[in-house]
Structure 1
Amino acid sequence: MVRFVRKEESEEYANASGTSANSVGTLKRRSGEDSQAAAVNGGRLWRVVGVSFGLLCILQAALNVSLRLTLYSSDSVTPGIETGCKALAEERDQMEKKLNNIDQHTRQGWLYFNDSLYYISSTKKTWTDSRKDCQQRGADLVIINSREKLDFTRQFQKTIWIGLTDSETEGIWKWVDGSTLTTSYWHRGEPNSDQGRNEDCVENRFFKVPNSWNDESCDIQNFWICEKTAAP
Protein backbone atom coordinates (compact mmCIF):
# COMPACT_ATOMS: atom_id res chain seq x y z
CA MET A 1 0.00 0.00 0.00
CA VAL A 2 2.73 2.33 0.86
CA ARG A 3 4.58 1.44 -2.29
CA PHE A 4 1.51 2.18 -4.34
CA VAL A 5 1.05 5.50 -2.77
CA ARG A 6 4.66 6.37 -3.24
CA LYS A 7 4.43 5.23 -6.81
CA GLU A 8 1.47 7.46 -7.39
CA GLU A 9 3.20 10.31 -5.62
CA SER A 10 6.24 9.67 -7.79
CA GLU A 11 4.13 9.72 -10.92
CA GLU A 12 2.34 12.88 -9.81
CA TYR A 13 5.70 14.49 -9.06
CA ALA A 14 6.99 13.45 -12.40
CA ASN A 15 3.89 14.83 -14.08
CA ALA A 16 4.17 18.00 -12.10
CA SER A 17 7.83 18.29 -12.99
CA GLY A 18 7.02 17.71 -16.62
CA THR A 19 4.29 20.29 -16.49
CA SER A 20 6.65 22.72 -14.83
CA ALA A 21 9.29 21.99 -17.43
CA ASN A 22 6.76 22.51 -20.19
CA SER A 23 5.63 25.75 -18.57
CA VAL A 24 9.18 26.95 -18.25
CA GLY A 25 9.81 26.02 -21.89
CA THR A 26 6.70 27.80 -22.91
CA LEU A 27 7.73 30.86 -20.91
CA LYS A 28 11.20 30.78 -22.39
CA ARG A 29 9.74 30.43 -25.89
CA ARG A 30 7.35 33.32 -25.30
CA SER A 31 10.14 35.36 -23.78
CA GLY A 32 12.23 34.69 -26.86
CA GLU A 33 9.37 35.65 -29.15
CA ASP A 34 8.73 38.80 -27.14
CA SER A 35 12.41 39.69 -27.31
CA GLN A 36 12.41 39.12 -31.06
CA ALA A 37 9.28 41.19 -31.46
CA ALA A 38 10.78 43.89 -29.30
CA ALA A 39 13.93 43.81 -31.39
CA VAL A 40 11.88 44.10 -34.58
CA ASN A 41 9.80 46.94 -33.16
CA GLY A 42 12.94 48.63 -31.91
CA GLY A 43 14.45 48.43 -35.37
CA ARG A 44 11.34 49.88 -36.92
CA LEU A 45 11.37 52.71 -34.37
CA TRP A 46 14.94 53.58 -35.18
CA ARG A 47 14.14 53.58 -38.89
CA VAL A 48 11.19 55.93 -38.26
CA VAL A 49 13.41 58.16 -36.16
CA GLY A 50 16.10 58.13 -38.86
CA VAL A 51 13.65 58.96 -41.64
CA SER A 52 12.08 61.74 -39.54
CA PHE A 53 15.50 63.20 -38.81
CA GLY A 54 16.34 63.09 -42.51
CA LEU A 55 13.10 64.86 -43.40
CA LEU A 56 13.82 67.51 -40.78
CA CYS A 57 17.27 68.05 -42.30
CA ILE A 58 15.79 68.41 -45.79
CA LEU A 59 13.13 70.82 -44.47
CA GLN A 60 15.78 72.88 -42.71
CA ALA A 61 17.87 73.07 -45.87
CA ALA A 62 14.85 74.13 -47.93
CA LEU A 63 13.99 76.78 -45.34
CA ASN A 64 17.54 78.15 -45.43
CA VAL A 65 17.47 78.38 -49.24
CA SER A 66 14.07 80.09 -49.12
CA LEU A 67 15.29 82.63 -46.58
CA ARG A 68 18.39 83.36 -48.63
CA LEU A 69 16.34 83.87 -51.78
CA THR A 70 13.96 86.15 -49.89
CA LEU A 71 16.80 88.22 -48.51
CA TYR A 72 18.44 88.40 -51.95
CA SER A 73 15.17 89.49 -53.54
CA SER A 74 14.65 92.09 -50.84
CA ASP A 75 18.16 93.46 -51.30
CA SER A 76 18.13 93.53 -55.11
CA VAL A 77 14.52 93.99 -56.21
CA THR A 78 13.20 96.38 -53.56
CA PRO A 79 15.82 99.10 -54.20
CA GLY A 80 15.09 98.82 -57.93
CA ILE A 81 11.37 99.26 -57.35
CA GLU A 82 11.98 102.21 -55.03
CA THR A 83 14.28 103.85 -57.58
CA GLY A 84 11.72 103.36 -60.34
CA CYS A 85 8.91 104.81 -58.24
CA LYS A 86 11.07 107.78 -57.29
CA ALA A 87 11.93 108.42 -60.94
CA LEU A 88 8.24 108.25 -61.92
CA ALA A 89 7.32 110.66 -59.13
CA GLU A 90 10.01 113.12 -60.25
CA GLU A 91 8.88 112.82 -63.86
CA ARG A 92 5.29 113.49 -62.82
CA ASP A 93 6.35 116.57 -60.83
CA GLN A 94 8.33 117.90 -63.78
CA MET A 95 5.38 117.37 -66.10
CA GLU A 96 3.05 119.21 -63.72
CA LYS A 97 5.49 122.13 -63.52
CA LYS A 98 5.82 122.19 -67.30
CA LEU A 99 2.05 122.22 -67.84
CA ASN A 100 1.66 125.01 -65.29
CA ASN A 101 4.41 126.98 -67.03
CA ILE A 102 2.75 126.56 -70.43
CA ASP A 103 -0.61 127.59 -69.00
CA GLN A 104 0.81 130.74 -67.41
CA HIS A 105 2.57 131.82 -70.62
CA THR A 106 -0.39 131.16 -72.90
CA ARG A 107 -2.47 133.37 -70.62
CA GLN A 108 0.10 136.11 -71.31
CA GLY A 109 -0.19 135.71 -75.08
CA TRP A 110 2.59 133.20 -75.77
CA LEU A 111 2.08 130.35 -78.23
CA TYR A 112 3.10 126.74 -77.63
CA PHE A 113 4.72 124.82 -80.50
CA ASN A 114 6.98 121.73 -80.52
CA ASP A 115 7.86 121.90 -76.83
CA SER A 116 8.73 125.61 -76.96
CA LEU A 117 6.94 128.90 -76.23
CA TYR A 118 6.83 131.84 -78.65
CA TYR A 119 6.04 135.50 -78.22
CA ILE A 120 5.13 137.41 -81.42
CA SER A 121 5.62 141.16 -81.16
CA SER A 122 2.98 143.66 -82.19
CA THR A 123 5.45 146.52 -82.60
CA LYS A 124 8.70 147.03 -84.52
CA LYS A 125 12.22 147.49 -83.18
CA THR A 126 15.83 147.17 -84.30
CA TRP A 127 17.49 143.76 -84.11
CA THR A 128 19.40 144.68 -80.94
CA ASP A 129 16.34 146.16 -79.19
CA SER A 130 14.24 143.21 -80.28
CA ARG A 131 16.70 140.84 -78.68
CA LYS A 132 16.77 142.87 -75.49
CA ASP A 133 12.99 142.62 -75.27
CA CYS A 134 13.20 138.82 -75.59
CA GLN A 135 15.89 138.59 -72.93
CA GLN A 136 13.76 140.64 -70.54
CA ARG A 137 11.05 138.02 -71.03
CA GLY A 138 13.46 135.20 -70.15
CA ALA A 139 13.82 134.20 -73.81
CA ASP A 140 15.82 135.07 -76.94
CA LEU A 141 15.23 135.68 -80.64
CA VAL A 142 13.90 132.60 -82.41
CA ILE A 143 16.29 130.01 -83.85
CA ILE A 144 15.03 128.41 -87.07
CA ASN A 145 16.71 125.06 -87.71
CA SER A 146 13.95 123.10 -89.48
CA ARG A 147 11.47 123.53 -92.31
CA GLU A 148 8.64 122.98 -89.85
CA LYS A 149 9.81 125.86 -87.71
CA LEU A 150 10.29 128.06 -90.76
CA ASP A 151 6.68 127.49 -91.80
CA PHE A 152 5.50 128.16 -88.25
CA THR A 153 7.14 131.63 -88.16
CA ARG A 154 5.84 132.59 -91.60
CA GLN A 155 2.19 131.97 -90.77
CA PHE A 156 1.95 135.30 -88.90
CA GLN A 157 2.32 137.27 -92.15
CA LYS A 158 5.09 139.46 -90.79
CA THR A 159 8.70 140.11 -91.68
CA ILE A 160 10.48 139.31 -88.44
CA TRP A 161 13.94 139.40 -86.92
CA ILE A 162 15.39 135.99 -86.15
CA GLY A 163 18.33 135.18 -83.89
CA LEU A 164 21.00 134.94 -86.63
CA THR A 165 23.89 137.39 -87.19
CA ASP A 166 27.46 137.66 -88.46
CA SER A 167 28.23 140.80 -86.49
CA GLU A 168 31.22 139.17 -84.75
CA THR A 169 32.95 137.90 -87.91
CA GLU A 170 31.81 138.86 -91.37
CA GLY A 171 30.47 135.90 -93.30
CA ILE A 172 30.34 133.55 -90.30
CA TRP A 173 26.72 133.32 -89.30
CA LYS A 174 25.91 132.33 -85.74
CA TRP A 175 22.73 131.88 -83.76
CA VAL A 176 22.13 133.77 -80.52
CA ASP A 177 22.98 130.64 -78.52
CA GLY A 178 26.50 130.69 -80.01
CA SER A 179 26.04 127.76 -82.40
CA THR A 180 27.24 128.07 -86.00
CA LEU A 181 24.71 128.01 -88.84
CA THR A 182 24.39 124.57 -90.44
CA THR A 183 20.91 124.49 -91.99
CA SER A 184 19.93 127.64 -93.87
CA TYR A 185 16.90 128.96 -95.75
CA TRP A 186 18.34 131.90 -97.64
CA HIS A 187 16.24 133.51 -100.33
CA ARG A 188 17.75 133.36 -103.78
CA GLY A 189 20.91 135.52 -103.98
CA GLU A 190 21.15 136.00 -100.22
CA PRO A 191 23.13 136.91 -98.19
CA ASN A 192 24.64 139.68 -100.28
CA SER A 193 25.16 142.89 -98.24
CA ASP A 194 23.14 144.76 -100.88
CA GLN A 195 24.73 147.93 -102.27
CA GLY A 196 27.71 147.55 -99.93
CA ARG A 197 25.65 148.08 -96.83
CA ASN A 198 26.65 146.39 -93.57
CA GLU A 199 23.88 143.78 -93.35
CA ASP A 200 24.78 141.70 -90.32
CA CYS A 201 21.34 140.62 -89.12
CA VAL A 202 18.78 138.26 -90.63
CA GLU A 203 15.09 138.75 -91.18
CA ASN A 204 12.59 136.09 -92.18
CA ARG A 205 10.04 137.22 -94.73
CA PHE A 206 6.58 135.74 -94.97
CA PHE A 207 6.53 135.55 -98.79
CA LYS A 208 5.28 132.24 -100.18
CA VAL A 209 8.62 131.04 -101.48
CA PRO A 210 10.57 127.95 -100.47
CA ASN A 211 13.26 129.97 -98.67
CA SER A 212 12.76 133.41 -97.21
CA TRP A 213 15.82 134.62 -95.26
CA ASN A 214 17.35 137.95 -96.06
CA ASP A 215 20.37 139.69 -94.55
CA GLU A 216 19.56 143.23 -93.54
CA SER A 217 20.98 146.16 -91.64
CA CYS A 218 20.52 145.60 -87.91
CA ASP A 219 19.33 149.20 -87.49
CA ILE A 220 16.09 148.94 -89.45
CA GLN A 221 12.93 148.09 -87.53
CA ASN A 222 11.04 144.84 -87.82
CA PHE A 223 8.67 142.71 -85.85
CA TRP A 224 10.32 139.86 -83.94
CA ILE A 225 9.60 136.49 -82.33
CA CYS A 226 10.96 135.43 -78.95
CA GLU A 227 11.51 131.76 -78.14
CA LYS A 228 12.11 129.75 -74.97
CA THR A 229 11.69 126.19 -73.82
CA ALA A 230 8.40 125.12 -72.31
CA ALA A 231 10.18 123.51 -69.36
CA PRO A 232 10.21 125.78 -66.29
Structure 2
Amino acid sequence: MSGHLKLTEINFLNSTDNYIQQRWVYFKHSFYYISSTTKSWPNSRNDCLQRGADLVIINSKEEQVISWIGLTDRETKGEWKWVDGTPLTKSYWGSGEPNDYEGKTEDCVEIKFHDEENSWNDIPCGDQNFWICEKTVAL
Protein backbone atom coordinates (compact mmCIF):
# COMPACT_ATOMS: atom_id res chain seq x y z
CA MET A 1 0.00 0.00 0.00
CA SER A 2 2.96 2.37 -0.23
CA GLY A 3 2.22 5.47 -2.25
CA HIS A 4 -1.31 5.74 -0.83
CA LEU A 5 -2.23 8.41 1.68
CA LYS A 6 -4.08 7.45 4.84
CA LEU A 7 -7.37 9.24 5.53
CA THR A 8 -5.76 11.10 8.46
CA GLU A 9 -3.00 12.34 6.14
CA ILE A 10 -5.55 13.52 3.56
CA ASN A 11 -7.53 15.35 6.26
CA PHE A 12 -4.31 16.94 7.52
CA LEU A 13 -3.35 18.13 4.01
CA ASN A 14 -6.84 19.55 3.42
CA SER A 15 -6.84 21.42 6.74
CA THR A 16 -3.28 22.65 6.11
CA ASP A 17 -4.33 24.17 2.78
CA ASN A 18 -7.35 25.79 4.43
CA TYR A 19 -5.27 27.34 7.24
CA ILE A 20 -2.60 28.63 4.86
CA GLN A 21 -5.28 30.35 2.78
CA GLN A 22 -6.43 32.10 5.98
CA ARG A 23 -2.87 33.41 6.72
CA TRP A 24 -1.90 30.74 9.28
CA VAL A 25 1.69 29.48 9.45
CA TYR A 26 2.59 25.84 10.20
CA PHE A 27 5.51 25.13 12.58
CA LYS A 28 6.26 21.97 14.60
CA HIS A 29 2.76 20.42 14.81
CA SER A 30 0.92 23.72 15.32
CA PHE A 31 -0.67 26.42 13.19
CA TYR A 32 -0.04 30.05 14.15
CA TYR A 33 -2.13 33.08 13.25
CA ILE A 34 -0.09 36.27 13.57
CA SER A 35 -2.18 39.40 14.00
CA SER A 36 -1.66 42.49 11.88
CA THR A 37 -3.51 44.79 14.30
CA THR A 38 -3.28 45.43 18.03
CA LYS A 39 -5.83 44.58 20.73
CA SER A 40 -5.93 44.16 24.50
CA TRP A 41 -5.01 40.75 25.96
CA PRO A 42 -8.66 39.75 26.62
CA ASN A 43 -9.78 40.88 23.14
CA SER A 44 -6.80 39.11 21.56
CA ARG A 45 -7.69 35.90 23.37
CA ASN A 46 -11.33 36.18 22.28
CA ASP A 47 -10.18 36.58 18.68
CA CYS A 48 -8.11 33.39 18.97
CA LEU A 49 -10.98 31.47 20.58
CA GLN A 50 -13.30 32.53 17.74
CA ARG A 51 -10.74 31.05 15.34
CA GLY A 52 -10.81 27.72 17.22
CA ALA A 53 -7.38 28.39 18.75
CA ASP A 54 -5.93 30.20 21.78
CA LEU A 55 -3.08 32.57 22.53
CA VAL A 56 0.28 30.94 21.92
CA ILE A 57 1.89 28.87 24.68
CA ILE A 58 5.67 29.22 24.49
CA ASN A 59 7.46 25.88 24.53
CA SER A 60 10.67 26.97 22.80
CA LYS A 61 12.63 30.14 22.12
CA GLU A 62 11.78 29.79 18.41
CA GLU A 63 8.12 30.56 19.17
CA GLN A 64 8.95 34.00 20.53
CA VAL A 65 8.03 37.18 18.66
CA ILE A 66 6.76 40.59 19.79
CA SER A 67 3.19 39.89 20.85
CA TRP A 68 0.79 38.87 23.57
CA ILE A 69 1.31 35.32 24.74
CA GLY A 70 -1.14 33.09 26.59
CA LEU A 71 0.34 33.56 30.06
CA THR A 72 -1.35 35.35 32.96
CA ASP A 73 -1.54 35.57 36.75
CA ARG A 74 -5.00 37.20 36.73
CA GLU A 75 -6.53 34.45 38.92
CA THR A 76 -3.87 34.41 41.65
CA LYS A 77 -1.15 37.07 41.89
CA GLY A 78 2.29 35.57 41.29
CA GLU A 79 0.88 32.23 40.09
CA TRP A 80 1.55 32.32 36.35
CA LYS A 81 -0.56 29.96 34.23
CA TRP A 82 -1.00 29.32 30.53
CA VAL A 83 -4.42 29.80 28.92
CA ASP A 84 -4.94 26.01 28.97
CA GLY A 85 -4.60 26.04 32.78
CA THR A 86 -1.12 24.49 32.98
CA PRO A 87 1.34 26.16 35.34
CA LEU A 88 4.40 27.97 34.03
CA THR A 89 7.42 25.63 34.18
CA LYS A 90 9.87 27.12 31.65
CA SER A 91 10.13 30.88 31.35
CA TYR A 92 11.98 33.55 29.42
CA TRP A 93 11.49 36.58 31.70
CA GLY A 94 13.52 39.69 31.00
CA SER A 95 15.82 41.01 33.71
CA GLY A 96 13.80 42.14 36.75
CA GLU A 97 10.55 40.70 35.41
CA PRO A 98 7.80 40.12 36.38
CA ASN A 99 7.64 43.30 38.40
CA ASP A 100 4.26 45.14 38.36
CA TYR A 101 6.22 48.23 37.24
CA GLU A 102 5.36 51.42 39.14
CA GLY A 103 2.73 49.54 41.15
CA LYS A 104 0.59 48.82 38.08
CA THR A 105 -1.47 45.66 37.91
CA GLU A 106 0.53 43.78 35.28
CA ASP A 107 -1.17 40.40 34.92
CA CYS A 108 -0.54 39.64 31.24
CA VAL A 109 2.66 38.92 29.32
CA GLU A 110 4.20 40.23 26.12
CA ILE A 111 7.41 39.34 24.36
CA LYS A 112 9.37 42.56 23.93
CA PHE A 113 12.41 41.68 21.82
CA HIS A 114 12.21 38.66 19.54
CA ASP A 115 15.99 38.61 19.12
CA GLU A 116 16.65 38.17 22.84
CA GLU A 117 15.91 34.83 24.47
CA ASN A 118 14.83 36.32 27.81
CA SER A 119 12.47 39.15 26.92
CA TRP A 120 9.12 38.42 28.57
CA ASN A 121 7.55 41.45 30.21
CA ASP A 122 4.46 41.62 32.41
CA ILE A 123 2.18 44.52 31.45
CA PRO A 124 -1.43 45.60 32.08
CA CYS A 125 -3.89 43.37 30.23
CA GLY A 126 -5.68 46.40 28.78
CA ASP A 127 -2.63 47.62 26.85
CA GLN A 128 -2.77 47.22 23.07
CA ASN A 129 -0.43 44.71 21.45
CA PHE A 130 -0.14 42.29 18.56
CA TRP A 131 -0.97 38.66 19.34
CA ILE A 132 -0.43 35.13 18.08
CA CYS A 133 -3.04 32.37 18.08
CA GLU A 134 -1.88 28.75 18.25
CA LYS A 135 -3.83 25.68 17.18
CA THR A 136 -2.18 22.31 17.74
CA VAL A 137 -2.88 19.62 15.17
CA ALA A 138 -2.40 15.90 15.46
CA LEU A 139 -1.72 13.46 12.66
* Rg larger for: 1
Corresponding residue for residue 203 of structure 1: 110
Return the structure number with greater strand share: 2
Corresponding residue for residue 98 of structure 1: 12
Structure 2 unaligned blocks of 5 or more: none
Equivalent runs, 1:62-141 vs 2, <5 Å: 92-141=6-55
In the aligned structure 1, how far is the partner of 2:68 from the partner of 2:41? 6
- Find 1:161's aligned residue among 60, 63, 68: 68
Instruction: Normalising by structure 1, report the TM-score.
Output: 0.56
Corresponding residue for residue 62 of structure 2: 148
Q: 1:193: how far off?
A: 0.3
Structure 1 unaligned blocks of 5 or more: 1-84
Q: 1:95: how far off?
A: 1.3
In the aligned structure 2, how far is the partner of 1:223 from the partner of 1:147? 18
Q: Are 1:171 and 2:78 matched, yes or no?
A: yes
- Find 1:188's aligned residue among 83, 86, 95: 95
Q: Is the 8 A contact 1:186 1:211 kept in 2?
A: yes
Moved over 3 A (4+): none
Q: Which has the higher contact order (CA 8 A, sep 6+)?
A: 2
Letter in 2 for 1:214: N
Counterparts in 2 of 1:103 and 1:207: CA distance versus 1, 3 Å: closer
